[in-house]
Chain A
Amino acid sequence: MNSLTPLRFHVPEPASRPGGKPDFSGVAIPKAGSTRRPPVDVAPEEIRDLAYSIIRVLNHEGQAIGPWVPDLTQDELVAGLRHMMTLRTFDSRMQMAQRQGKTSFYMQHTGEEAVSCAFRIALGPDDMNFPTYRQAGLLIAHDYPLVDMMCQIYSNANDPMKGRQLPVFYSSRKHGFFSISGNLATQFVQAVGWAMASAIKGDSRIAAAWIGDGSTAESDFHAALVFASTYKAPVVLNVVNNQWAISTFQGIARGGSGTFAARGLGFGIPALRVDGNDYLATYAVAKWAIERARLNLGPTLIEYVTYRAGAHSTSDDPSAYRPKHESEEWPLGDPVIRLKQHLIAAGAWSEQRHKQTEAEILATVIAAQKEAESFGTLHSGSKPSSRDIFEDVYSELPPHLRRQRQQIGV
């Protein structure tokens, strides 16, 4: 006879599923302006609380309050709003283009626009991002040509990636945007290496690493934190917690307690949690971490608390695993609407200007789309050369690839 209690296997479940009522009661949201702003040279153990709180600047009335209010001018904030609106418009046009069969695949940023758009503005022009597939705001806020992005998505003859990469896997060294890979988390540790290189050379450039909540479970997340901590690498380690990894809620990657930010503390890395839908807070926290890196104070981990309002990709249907209107209930709202309200409250914006800007941006994006489509889309128009299959595998074409290229007659 066994008197021991049978063990029970635990599998975390989200608060609600399709057909259920969205429930974010588990997400504790501190009041805007209520979180302290420590000096950048603070010891990580002195700001443990910031890894469990959420830094917020914009309150419900759209006012910017508290110690994290950044020194952005109203013009800069309007520019930020335009970046986010451009990304959203770009997303909807490309989503539609995929539905029209003009490309095979697309991934939207809906609800997460503030994270990458604000970060780019906080970063210097020569710093390097190691993004995931959901940070196109880094390109848009750095004036990367929309036409080039679209040509990449369409895999036409003007695609800078020569048709080799899935749509949205951009690369631009010039714009501080490292080549995107399909393999999750790999870039997180590469960013640390880039930052180590900058330190080895006595450079002043820093690196920014990007990862989603789900991918923090990959071993490279751990490796990145170890190396960043050991060598005090000048890197900002960005975790975008949008609550979902395809169909898997963030509790599967995180477990039942703690936060993603808190994972930095065990490595001796200062960690902050920020309202990812608050452009001002996101910018301010990014700026703080970037300054730390620039002053050789070492890495910082930032968790951006946001919500993936759209589907994971054009191949995904979220209604199969989460309540249909869950995104509308997300307590941190919509980053575009919140910045718009702030600017209106500050007297720097109006409903009319917003509508006018929306129309302008749509016209710009449509014009770019027309130009991109004039070069071709996935199944029509110009295509990258078949020779491009064989180029760039190595710096020079080795004999075996020369033979293979001859076999297809190019």
Chain B
Amino acid sequence: MKLAYWMYAGPAHIGTLRVASSFKNVHAIMHAPLGDDYFNVMRSMLERERDFTAATASIVDRHVLARGSQERVVDNILRKDKEEHPDLIILTPTCTSSILQEDLQNFVNRASIISDSDVIFADVDHYQVNEIQAADRTLEQVVRYYLDRCHRQEKWDQFLTDAPSVNIIGIFTLGFHNQHDCRELRRLLRDLDIQINQIIPEGGSVEELQNLPKAWFNLIPYREVGLMTAMYLNKEYGMPYISTAPMGAVDMAEWIRQIQKNVNTLALSSSSKRVDYEPYIDGQTRFVSQAAWFSRSIDCQNLTGKETVVFGDTTHAASITKILVREMGIRVSCAGTYCKHDAEWFKEQIQGFCDEILITDDHAEVGDMIAHMEPSAIFGTQMERHIGKRLDIPCGVISAPVHIQNFPLGYRPFLGYEGTNQIADLVYNSFALGMEDHLLDIFGGHDTKEIISKSLSTDIGLIWNPESRLELSKIPRFAREKVERNTEKFARQKGIETITVEVMYAAKEALNT
């Protein structure tokens, strides 16, 4: 038992639901009590999703507790099957079903005999894995299910596509800037003349998963989700994969070179010609991305040696740390991640780029560390943004968990060459604001602070009796002054001298009319 106010990664079923609802025509049924379908709210509100989220609950209530789910789960699966004809139904366990220990696999077996949809049981344990790990597992599970089946049915078509092609694995709903990143990757691959075989899970169809092995190799932009699938495809089908995140100019170049190597290795055995992307990298780095030039421009001299703290998921925290240090000349006092399960990789990546490494999922620890270091800027999640607010340190948000403002409508990739521009802006603006703030502090603000009072109460003394004074103090601060002003105005009009609680509310009513 531990005291917790906040968490970076959600419970396991959220990961499964994110993968399930990203696929086209896949329905998730949660085995959960009333109120656990909060995922639908998040998807509808944060992603501003226009469609109903394909996730429902098979409700666990008092009766289920007493007698077991019995027919209920099977009935709910069959009902969904009949109503919406999904390709796949994923029965998703929650923390509640983990302890009820009902044989959900058995329900799945029974339902799949009758239903037209495929039915699987998500193999995630609430107490073993978190949201991110569960998403990774579920994606692998779905891919494995369809490839295995295809194998059994011997409908196997294992030929690679003629031209070089890739799968992009791990783009999905409620991911940090995933939609924009995906668009940027498409553009890059088109420039490199590489076809996209499939993008999963976002917008993908499970019926087509059997064609995954036709791609020459796999791209895993974010290592949190997709790596398991890539490793499985590598083991079973010998598909190579690139798990470098194409974030920042240096890693971009590295990523494209890996693609080149893979294309050329496979090109040997097919009729395609060898490729050379070096001129492309050179042109993009120098002229398309403004980031390299920007770092050398005079503006960025001010950033030299400034101290920062970076915190986020492994992919973003590691990439941003490297960008800050080697591409912008900023010092990272501490870099950290909440993905404890992938800590070794993270440490290895940022070795030598920062003074300290912090692996924790306790936001208080991160807060204490930031307070202790007093950096000029923070790059972290929404939590670090709030920590920054409290400590008066500017913060750029670089990783999930995030709020609605981190699902921008405008084009804001973090990956690719356009991504380098976006990151440069984000970094620069965080510091510039911090600097401005500091200067304002030194010189005492923009303006002298004598604001002429908007209240009319200076001339004739209206008396607020103790009760009304108390009542006024209960009104939230942002509205208090307005209420005070309106009440006094009302009192003056009515010729009232002593303001009582009654007068306050009479004023409110009068205002309504």
A and B interact physically: no
Contacts from A to B (Cβ < 8 Å):
none
